[in-house]
Structures are given as structure tokens and as C-alpha cells.
Chains A and B, each alone.
Chain A
Amino acid sequence: MATKRVQFSHSPIPYLFIVPQLAIIAVFFFWPALQALYLSFMLEDPWGLSSQFVGFENYVELFSSSEYLSTFAFTLLYSSIVTVFSLGVALVLAVKANAILRGQSTYQLLLTWVYAIAPAAAGIMAYFIFNRNIGVVPEFLNSFGWDFRPDTNSFDATAMVILVSVWKQVPVNFVFFLAGLNSISKSVREAAQMDCESDSRRFWTITFPLLAPTAFFLLVINITYAFFETFGLIDTLTQGRPGGSTTTLVYKVYQDGFIGADLGLSSAQSVVLMLLVLLLTFVQFKFIERKVHY
């Protein structure tokens, strides 16, 4: 149990302290979550004037729609690529930052500030940098013979969204990797230095396994990021285009629910997302934490 051994005895005071939190959770978390569940079984007109129970129809509609399934596939692909790249880049930077003696804190500063930029602001910024009229990237890529057209070419658009998403996520991973590396005690490192002469062998046989818990924990953080937090980035950068090729599941909830005004269908998508998050959490608890030795 999470409580301390020495505690105040029973009185109304503890309730006073915890009630605000519980009230907010009840009103702004459970009520909406249950309502999403309820709406997912309904067919409602946009203005909320009429509503009818339709059972699992919205779910059947979803999973028989090839659009939804391809959005699903894209989201999985996109989040894996973003995760792999942003973890990879951050790991390299963290290892290098850890290796140098002087100026580590300066590098930490210079490599983490991007964390504070809103995904939506990053998306707008990227929109201009990748813009074919004023941006610098298309010109640069054209000079290599890459006819870069994110407005019409789905590969180019996907590459662009992934690059910007990685840019935004590297700092978080860097902070955790560096913290992880710093916490590997000096004695372990010194012992390792004596045992293996080769830097890369030392990294793969000793440092990397010790970083594994951090990496697995970051895996979940990054997948969550790619699923949910990239909404603003996608809305400003591509709006899920071209041809729906950069539409993530969360973006589709927004499109169908807001632009489309189809609340039932959109709520069913929300519920599917909730189940996905639950699954992710379950995996995190049951499998990953067990496999990794702390």
C-alpha cells in the first residue's frame, strides 16, 4: 500500500484534501469518458436534436472502412519510425555528451530547449520551411534531384511529418538517456574500462544493457507521443493530406467528429483509442518490466 506507517488517525480532514482532485476527475474525466462510450453506440444528428441507439453499428462501420484500417496501419508505422529514430538520435547524442568531460551542461542546455516548443508551433514552422514558394528545404532537395512535393506526394509528406516529429521528440529522450548514463555508477564504468579496451564493445556489452530499462520506458513515452501529442503538428503541417496518407487515429477522431459532425462514429474511434492505450499500458506492466532486469 502506498501510505506511510506513521499516519494521522481517522478524521474528516483527509477527505477535504483529496476531494478537489476526485471531483475534477469525476467531472472532467469519468463523465466524458463514459459519455464517449455511450455516444459510440448512438447515431446522433449534428445539432443534438435527435439520437438513436444503434448497437455496434459504429464499430462495424469503422472496421469495415478501408480508410480507417489504412489510418490504423499508418499510425502504427509512423509511431514506430518516429520512436526508433528519435530514440536512436537521442542515444547517440547522450552517449557523446556523457563521454566528454567539460561542457556537458552546456550541451544539455543546447539539446533540450526544443522540448518547450508546442507541437503545433513546430508544425507551422515546418510548414514554412518546407513550403515550395518560400521554404528552403524543397530547393535543397531539388538540387539533389529529389522532386520534393509534400503537397501531392504521400511519401514526401510522410517523410516530412516524421522528420519534424523526431526533431520535436529528441530532447526528451536525450534527457532520459543522459540521466540514465550518469546514474551508471563511476565504479561500474571504471571496471568496464579495465575489462574492455574497445569503446563500442564496452558500450554494447555493459552500458547498453544498463540503459535498457530507460529505453523500454522511453518506448512507451514515444509511442504515446506519436499517437496523441502529434495532433497539433499534423493539423498545422499536412492536415492528414495528401490522400489521407498522413492521417493518424487521433487526427481522424477530430476530422470525423468535428469537420464531419458525426459524433457516433467519432466516439467509437475514441473508444478504440482508449482500448489501445489500455493495451499499451498492460504490455508495459506485464511484459516489458518483467523482461528488463533492473
Chain B
Amino acid sequence: MNLSRREWFRGLSAAGIAAVAAPAAHAREAKTVHPEDVGMLYDSTRCVGCRACTTRCKEVNGLPLDVVKTDGVAYNAPEDLSASNKSILKLYKNGETEAFVKRQCMHCADPACVSVCMAGALHKTQNGIVAYNKNVCVGCRYCQIACAFDVPKFTWNEPLPLIVKCEMCRHRPEGPACCEACPRGAMTTGTMAGLTEEAHRRIGNDPDKYDPKIYGEHDGGGLHVLYLTSKAVSFENLGLPDVPEQPIPQTSETVQHTLYKGFVAPAALFGLFTFAQYFNERRRQAAEDAQRENKS
């Protein structure tokens, strides 16, 4: 075998490209909301900001109060979602216009946190809840990086820390405590099919009041928490991020599974590297032999 260097390089690069490009790219299918899955519907136009929901959330989930003292009086005044708040109520205020927004895990149909979690500590339950299993969590916090809504929180000051996020009260047979606590029916729970229908019904009954969009119906590939708002306050005002309709994990999973499909590309590269070494070694030996012959 006697290849010129140029031929050798050409062969090498062709093999390399073939190894990487061989498995055709098939976009990984989006995971969608199942009509029978559980979900929640938050109607900003109905919420009066009483915070019964977040208080009850703390009770049933055993979360500590965020005590702030004002004039010697202690209040539970949490600022944002945190390791002690799986759910929070925030206020949007612009002049006379006011609206509340409740934030918690969105329970995406196709969650980024579940996609990135190494051993499935964050996982989807049968009925669509994004749940946490601390026993296989290494605390890498990649879920926090991945979540487009910045939902998972971490107990930073614990020697044995945890990821904390809303799990839709999956430990309670009665369902989410926040929905139960709401005196105005602003936060309700039910099946996704039922909630979507109800949301459309409310918009249809009062098209002048409601923004025609249901946030979460398609956003992020579909969320298990749907939001309604009035025409006066946009979803952006409420602080709900603008996420694409394509599920967040689709790109990375498509790229990774294309590169690693059947482990063909890595195996091919391994073969290529081994063959190259064998081939180069033989050439080197031949050159050395020739040199020795010339000398003698």
C-alpha cells in the first residue's frame, strides 16, 4: 500500500465526514399535552391578590415562612420563587392598571429540566406532573440552567441540599392546595382538556375583557399551567417569558441523538484512529528500513 500524503488526507477527511454525517438528522418529535393530564388554570382577571394560595402552599408543603419585620410586626413577605416558595403571587402595577400573577412550575409538556436531568431525578409522572426524586439527584443544577422559566430552586445553604419546585401537590389526594384555597376561582385545577375548554369559554363569553391568547396553550410546546389575562395587561407585563412554540429540548436532543445514533459515529472514529495509527506506523517502519538499506 503506497498512498501519497495528499490522498491519505483526502481519505481521512472523507471518512471523518461520513462518520459524522451518516445518520440522517431526524428532528426528535415533540412531546405534547395529553387531554387527560392534570393541569391548572390561572385567570389574572379574577385574582384579587389575597395570597391564600401561597400561604396554603407553604402549609401543605412544609415550607418555612419568609419573615420580614416592619415597625416591629413580623410579616410573611416572600420576594420571589425560592427554596422556601414553590408558589408566589406578584403584582403588576402601572398607574391605575393593576394585575396579579401567580408563578410556580409550569409543568411543561416537554420539559427542559427532565430532558437534561442525568438520572431522571426530575421526571414526568403518568398524569403529566413534573416531579422530583431526591434519591437520584446529584445536585448538579443543570435543571436550573435549562429551565426557561427559572423555576427549580436550590437550598444553597444546606450541607445536604435539595432542588425545590412545585410538584402540583402530588402527595395530596385532593390535588393542588393553591386551587383549593382560592376564594375567587382564579386558580383552578382539572384535566387539560377541561381547562383548555374552560379558558376558551371565558374568552368567548367576554371577548372585550380577555386577551384572546391563552398563555401556555402552545408556548414552550404546551404547558400544564394555562394563563388568562385582561386586554389591559399583556402576558409580558405579567412577567411571563416569551418562549418559542417549539419545545425547548427539541434542538439539543435532535443534535445529540443524531451524533450518537446507534453509537455509529464514535465507533467509526475509534476505528479510524486505530487504523490511522497502524497505517502510519507501517509507513514509518518502511521509511526507517529504506534509510538503513541506503546506509549499508
Q: Do A and B associate with each other?
A: no
Instruction: List chain B positions with a Cβ less than 8 A from chain A.
Output: none
